[in-house]
Structure 1
Amino acid sequence: MQWYALYTEPRHEKKVADRLLKLGVEVYCPLVTQIKQWSDRKKKVEVPLLPSYVFVKLEDSNRDIVFQVSGVVRYLFWLGKPAIIRDEEIQQLKQWLLDTVVTSFEVKGIQVGDTYKIQTGPLAGKLGIVSKVEKKHLEIILEQLGFKIILNK
Structure 2
Amino acid sequence: MSWFVAYTKFRSEFKASNFFERMGMTAYVPCFEEKRQWSDRIKKVRKPAISGYVFFKIEKLSYTKINVNPFVKNIVKNNGEVVKIKDSEITRLKEALKSHSRADICRKGDRVQIESGVFKHRAAVVYSVDKNTITLLLNKLMLKLSLKENDVRVAG
TM-score tier after normalising by the smaller chain length: 0.5 to 0.7
- Per the alignment, residue 16 of structure 1 pairs with 16
Secondary structure of the residue aligned to 1:5 is strand
Q: Which residue number corresponds to residue 83 of structure 1?
A: 83
Identity, in percent, stands at 29
Does residue 1:7 correspond to 2:7, yes or no? yes
- Secondary structure of residue in 1 paired with 2:44: strand
Task: Name the CA distance, whole Å, in 1 between partners of 2:36 and 2:69.
Answer: 30
State the Cα deviation string for residues 53-98 of structure 1 (Å, max 9, x = none).
1101113343431111111100111121111111111000111222
Shift of 1:138: 8.2
Change (3 A) 1:139 1:82: farther
| Aligned-partner Cα distance in 1 for 2:54–2:60 | 17
Correspondences of 1:16-35 after superposition (within 5 Å): 16-35=16-35
Task: Name the amino acid aligned to 1:21.
Answer: E
Alignment of 1:1-153 (within 5 A): 1-98=1-98, 106-107=112-113, 108=123
Change (3 A) 1:21 1:44: same
| Unaligned runs of at least 5 residues, structure 1 | 110-118, 120-136, 141-153
Q: Is the 8 A contact 1:5 1:54 kept in 2?
A: yes
TM-score (norm 1): 0.63
- Residues 21 and 99 of structure 1, relative CA distance in 2, 3 Å threshold: same
Give unmatched runs, 5+ long, in structure 2: 107-111, 114-122, 130-152
Name the larger-Rg structure.
Answer: 2
CA shift in 2, pair 1:98/1:81, >3 Å:
same
Q: CA RMSD in A?
A: 3.0
Aligned residues of 1:7 and 1:76 also touching (Cα < 8 A)? yes
What is the TM-score of this pair, normalised by structure 2?
A: 0.62
